[in-house]
């Protein structure tokens, strides 16, 4: 079967990453989690004190981004300057800042280069917010994922509980709504469904139903 590029975009906490990772595994494709890259930048900025005033200090962020070494391994685990930061980038502190950091033009430019390079080869599943619209506009298959905000908050809350991360359901819901708002309304590369992207609302779908739906779409795209 011919290899294609698959772009998966959508709202936060829709299960995009799990879905994309699983799909890449099934197809023996490379998986690229672009959200993890923005999370690593946010973590580096937090550690460097870029947000200590309560706002993002753009001059300090620029300095921080210049010296950044971001890596994703074959299992899509994230590394910052060689340190495994996969656990830390999923916490609430990074989640609270990441959409502000990812709205900054020079941050996006820096990561766009890395993402396009990774996506240049066929046989890639890349997930994010602007993959179908900006990063890989020629992807043969584009999927835009959504789910009701309260369904997403419940899923994320359960996940944090399991990890022992302190958070209330309301905090998680507020964070999701804030990120939706920031993702959709930012000036640079806002979250938008590309005109040729297929909509997947998984609010009330089982994982199996979703997998079947996805593989159908992959087969159609490969046979075009």
What residue ranges bind ligand DC (CB under 6 A)?
12, 34-35, 38-39, 98-99, 102, 128-131, 179, 183
> Closest distance between ligand DC and the C-beta of residue 155, in Å?
12
Let me know: does 50 contact 222? Beta carbons within 8 Å. no
Name which of 102 and 202 has its Cβ closer to ligand DC: 102
Instruction: Give least dist CB 98 to ligand DC, A.
Output: 4
Q: Whole-number minimum distance, CB 2 to ligand DC, in Å? A: 25
As measured in angstroms, the least distance from the Cβ of 56 to ligand DC is 13
Q: How far is the CB of 53 from ligand DC (least distance, A)?
A: 21
- With 0-12 CB in 10 A as exposed, 13-18 as middle and 19+ as buried, what is 177? middle
40 closest CA partner among 7, 64, 12: 64
Considering the complex, state which of residue 196 and residue 220 has its C-beta at the smaller distance from ligand DC: 196
Residue 39 or 110: the one with the smaller Cβ distance to ligand DC is 39
When the beta carbons of 5 and 34 are compared against ligand DC, the nearer one is 34
Name which of 4 and 133 has its Cβ closer to ligand DC: 133
């Amino acid at each position: 079967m011919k290899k294609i590029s698959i772009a998966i975009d959508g709202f936060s906490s829709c299960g995009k990453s799990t879905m994309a990772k699983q799909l890449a595994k099934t197809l023996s494709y490379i998986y690229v989690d672009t959200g993890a890259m923005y999370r690593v930048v946010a973590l580096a900025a937090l550690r460097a004190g870029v947000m200590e005033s309560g706002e993002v200090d753009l001059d300090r962020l620029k300095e921080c981004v210049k010296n950044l070494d971001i890596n994703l391994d074959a299992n899509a685990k994230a590394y910052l300057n060689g340190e495994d930061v996969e656990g830390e980038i999923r916490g609430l502190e990074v989640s609270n800042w990441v959409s502000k950091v990812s709205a900054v033009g020079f941050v996006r430019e820096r990561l766009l280069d890395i993402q396009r390079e990774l996506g240049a080869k066929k046989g890639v599943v890349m997930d994010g917010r602007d993959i179908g619209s900006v990063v890989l506009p020629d992807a043969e298959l584009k999927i835009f994922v959504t789910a009701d905000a309260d369904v997403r908050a419940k899923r994320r809350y359960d996940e944090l509980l399991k990890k022992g991360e302190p958070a209330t359901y309301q905090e998680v819901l507020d964070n999701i709504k804030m990120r939706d708002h920031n993702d959709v309304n930012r000036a640079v590369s806002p979250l938008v469904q590309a005109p040729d992207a297929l909509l997947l609302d998984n609010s009330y779908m089982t994982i199996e139903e979703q997998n079947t739906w996805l593989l159908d779409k992959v087969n159609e795209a490969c046979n075009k």
